[in-house]
Amino acid sequence: MEKIVSDREEKEKSGYRRLFVEIGARIGKSLFFWGMAAILAFSAYTDLVKLGDAVPITAAGEDKRIALTFDDGPHPVYTKMLLEGLAERNVHASFFVIGKNISGREDLIEKMYEGGHLIGNHTFDHVKICDLSGEAACEQIEKTSALIREITGEDTEFVRPPFGEWNKSMECSFQMIPVMWDVDPLDWTTKNQALVKQRILDKVKAGDIILMHDCYESSVTAALEVVDQLLAEGYEFVTVEELILE
């Protein structure tokens, strides 16, 4: 009887040992699996950090281009100041000029053209297109285009309708592409250049068109400061033609 009990106890001990061995093996495999996973995750993280140090991390395929546009010029003083500042930074912008402001300032239109800037149409008298008859509206645009053509030898293809009001049903003898905007700092309402700058930087993103005016010193100064900061952040300034059509 004692032998039977002894054999039974031995079998039970043997079974417990096998169970403990099996459990230990499973735990070992699990620890090995999770250990390898941790190593791979850490390796991937290290590679990502190295990549981040090498190049700026942006959204896949993100195109960091921005179009800086100016309305109501040319101004005899501030447009000249702006053109010089843009040339120093090798930056191209788009100028939507008013026809009646061109006379006596043809040299500024020439500098815009020679500097690689886009010259657009902002009507002759800065009027609401939608308040005019079709004929009068077309005349406002054509008169300005004719003046630009005399200076540059090229037609204007882009128009910035004053107040953002465009008549899509206009039937003129020419085709124009209306250009609106994404960011408007309302620079014409204040001489505080720091405020104008901050209004732009708070909202601007890749692909945006910024609306400004080159007839105020504060606007020109703010614009050049915005250019400096966004260039440092990896943005590229292009004309509206490059942004819209390419």
* Residues 48, 116 within the same domain: no
Give CA–CA dist 238/84, Å, rounded. Answer: 17
Q: Do 36 and 127 have their domain in common? A: no
Q: What are the CA-CA distances from residue 52 to residues 39, 48, 83, 199, 235 (Å)?
A: 20, 6, 36, 29, 18
Picking from 57, 85, 100, the residue at the C-terminal end of a domain is 57
Helical pair 217-232 and 193-203, crossing angle rounded to 10 deg: 40
The model's pLDDT over 184-202, given as tens digits with 9 standing for 90+, comes to: 999 999 999 999 999 999 9
pLDDT of residue 18: 56
CA distance 9 to 15: 10
- Kindly state whether residues 129 and 15 are assigned to the same domain: no
- How far is the C-alpha of 63 from the C-alpha of 207, rounded, in Å? 7
Residue 65, CB-side half-sphere exposure with 13 Å CA sphere: 14
Q: Name residue 113's amino acid.
A: Y
Please return the burial class of 126, using the count of CB atoms within 10 Å of its CB with bins 0-12, 13-18 and 19+: middle
Pairing, β 177-178 against β 158-159: parallel
More confident residue, 98 or 246: 98
Instruction: Tell me the residue type at 74.
Output: P
Same domain, 114 and 94: yes
Q: What is the C-alpha to C-alpha distance for residues 16 and 33, in angstroms, rounded to an integer?
A: 26
Q: Are residues 52 and 89 in the same domain?
A: no
Contact status, residue 109 vs residue 80, Cβ threshold 8 Å: no
The reported pTM is 0.75
Residue range of the domain that includes 188: 65-245
Residue of 197, 186, 204, 199 whose CA lies nearest to 226: 197
- Identify whether residues 20 and 83 lie together within a single domain: no
- Could you tell me if 112 and 51 lie in one domain? no
pLDDT for residue 49: 34
For residues 88 and 149, membership in a common domain is answered with yes
Q: Give the pLDDT score at 246.
A: 74
Q: Which residues are catalytic?
A: 71, 213
> Torsion angle, CA of 30/32/35/36, rounded to 10 degrees?
-120
Of 41, 57, 73, the one marking the end of a domain is 57
**pLDDT tens, 89-137?**
999 999 999 999 999 999 999 999 999 999 999 999 999 999 999 899 9
Amino acid making up residue 83: L
pLDDT, tens digit, 9 for 90 and up, residues 17-53:
554 445 555 555 554 445 544 544 444 444 433 333 3
Domains held by the chain: number: 2
- State the greatest distance between any 2 C-alpha atoms of the chain, in Å, as a whole number: 126
Check whether residue 18 and residue 72 sit in a common domain: no
Q: Which residue has the higher pLDDT, 155 or 95?
A: 95
Q: What is the pLDDT of residue 174?
A: 83
